[in-house]
Each structure stands twice: as structure tokens, then as C-alpha cells.
Amino acid sequence: MTRLSSAFAKGHPALVTFITAGDGDTAANLDALVEGGADVIELGMPFTDPMADGPAIQAANLRSFDQGTTTQDVLTIAREFRQRHPEVPLVLMGYANPMIRRGPDWFAEQCRASGVDGVICVDIAPEEDQELGPALRGAGVDLIRLATPTTDAARLPAVLDGSSGFLYYVSVAGITGKQQAALDSIEGNVARIKRSTDLPVAVGFGVRSPEQAAAIARVADGVVVGSALVELVGEHGDQAPPHVLALTRALAQAVHSAERQPA
């Protein structure tokens, strides 16, 4: 079993948390996520043009650039995380251009060597899989794709083909952090996706509170929380870790104790 598949096989829904690399004291925030009970960590690679992100993560990217964060810094954060936390799965999430700049093989090898388990690339559709997919699969790094409310039945197989690790279901047509989807639409869509794949399905975009997270955890394999955590880093800067810890704890408790509905 890989670290990622183990994280979704604990007998309870998984809490997936996101923070942006290079924003605040990233190492301490990552430790707080682990201590708080996050099952999977997504580490955002900052990009100058984050067109799928709302204001919270846009601002986090700018703060990260203000610290001078480079791709090498992101990889170093990942490698040091892996040394401190040998068992917790770590996923890099970001946009295509920084990932392919030095060639897909370079990036895939760096991911492998840094102990990164998977990669989520927002703007490489399955139609353009050749940009990154073969290199990641060759290096044994999971390529985690996104499905959305607009991904219809005809298209879903293309999205699933070549996906591994888990499937990230984007619950609303929109950007990160803002809107909230109706629970019944999430439930229906997750059930529809799960009929087509054995991959765990984690649901994200617009999930902010433990209550929301618990409600989604009842109908999915995992719940992704990003902007709400990133906002804490924005608000508290280097003093964010205890706040990140507190929210993660509340989220983890809510998600882990959610009673699963039979799919």
C-alpha cells in the first residue's frame, strides 16, 4: 500500500488539508496539520497567475513570493517534511508552468526524490496528459486529477484514465475558497463517480467549517480544506501554527467521526 492509499484506508473519512509553500512558517504549519490529525497534506506551489484560485490563496501566493520562494524551496520544504513525517502522504498542488519549466522528467524525479506522493496540476486537462502524466507515472508519483460538476458521464472515463492516488472532486463550478455546494448535489456526484472507479474520492472547494466538513465526510472518502487554513496563515503570519493546529483538530474530529453513509 502506498502512503496515499493507506490514508484512505483508516476506517474513517480522510481529512485533506492545503497550505501554500513559503507562506508563513511553512514547516511549523505542516507539523501543526499533522499533529491536528490531517490524513493527507497538499502543499501549494506558488504561481504568479493562479487563475483557479480565489482571493485567499491568491494572497498566499503573493506572500510566498514576497519571501522569495523558489521551486527549489518548495522541494526542500517537501523533503524536510518527509524526513520529519515518514508516513504522512504529501501532495504538491499547483499550475502547469512551474512544473514543466525544467522538463517533466526533472520535475517528476525531484518529486520522487523529495518524498512527494502525488501531484495535482490544475491546468493540465487529460487531453494534454503528455505534458506531465507519463513522467510522473514513470517516477511512481500519483497524478491526482480533478473532476467537477461539469464533468459529465461521457467525459468521466477520460478523467479517470491515468489518475491514481485519489480523485479530487471539485464540488462547485468556480474558484477556491468561496461558494459552497449543496450537499445533495455533492452526494449524487460522488456516488456517480464512485460507480466508475475504485479510487477514493475527496471533495473540496468552499469547505470551511467542521460542520460542513462532517456533512461532506458522510458522503465521500475525504474532505479537502484549503482557504480557511490559508486565511489563518494570512491573519497570524509566523504565529499561525497554534491556530492552524486548533482548526485542523476540530476539522479532523468532525471528519473522522462522521458516520459514513453506504455508497
Partner 1 sequence: MTQQPNSFRNQPDERGHFGQFGGRYVAETLMPLILDLEREYRAAKADPAFKAQFDDLLAHYVGRPSPLYFAERLTAQLGGPEIWFKREELNHTGAHKINNCIGQILLAIRMGKTRIIAETGAGQHGVATATVCARFGIPCVIYMGAVDVARQQPNVFRMRLLGAEVIPVESGAKTLKDAMNEALRDWVANVHDTFYIIGTAAGPHPYPELVRDFQSVIGTEARAQMLARTGALPDLLIAAVGGGSNAIGLFHPFLDDPDVAMIGVEAAGHGIETGQHAASLTGGFPGILHGNKTYLLQDEDGQITEAHSISAGLDYPGIGPEHSWLHESGRVKYLPITDQEALDAFQLCSQLEGIIPALESAHALAALPKVAKGYRADQRILVNVSGRGDKDIFTVAEHLGVKL
Q: Could you say whether residue 58 binds partner 1 (CB under 8 A)?
A: yes
Q: Could you say whether residue 207 binds partner 1 (CB under 8 A)?
A: no
Helix residue ranges per DSSP H, 12-93: 26-36, 55-66, 71-84
Q: Which is nearer to partner 1, 18 or 95 (CB)?
A: 95
Is 42 noted as a catalytic residue in this protein?
yes
With CB under 8 A as the contact rule, the residue among 10, 84, 101, 195 that binds partner 1 is 101
| Minimal distance, residue 52 CB to partner 1, in Å | 5
With CB under 8 A as the contact rule, the residue among 79, 162, 174, 196 that binds partner 1 is 174
| Minimal distance, residue 46 CB to partner 1, in Å | 8
Displacement of CA 159 from its chain's centroid (Å): 17
Is 117 noted as a catalytic residue in this protein?
no
Question: What is the per-residue binding string for partner 1 in 102-141, x denoting contact by CB under 8 A?
Answer: --------------------xxxx-xx--x----------
Question: What is the per-residue binding string for partner 1 in 134-173, x denoting contact by CB under 8 A?
Answer: -----------xxxxxxxx--x---x----------x-xx
Q: Which is nearer to partner 1, 20 or 248 (CB)?
A: 20
What is the grid cell recorded at 263? 455508497
Q: Could you say whether residue 192 binds partner 1 (CB under 8 A)?
A: no
Task: State the Cα torsion 63-64-69-70 to the nearest 10°.
Answer: -120
| Minimal distance, residue 73 CB to partner 1, in Å | 10
| Minimal distance, residue 226 CB to partner 1, in Å | 15
Q: What is the DSSP letter of 259?
A: P
Q: Residues 23, 42, 142, 221: which is the catalytic one?
A: 42
Judged on CB neighbours under 10 Å (0-12, 13-18, 19+), 72 is: exposed
Q: Could you say whether residue 54 binds partner 1 (CB under 8 A)?
A: yes
d(CA 261, CA 263): 6
Q: What is the DSSP letter of 195?
A: T
d(CA 241, CA 62): 20
Burial 58-69 (b: 16+ CB within 10 A, else e): bbbbebbeeeeb
Task: State the Cα torsion 39-202-215-153 to the nearest 10°.
Answer: -170
The residues that are catalytic are 42, 53
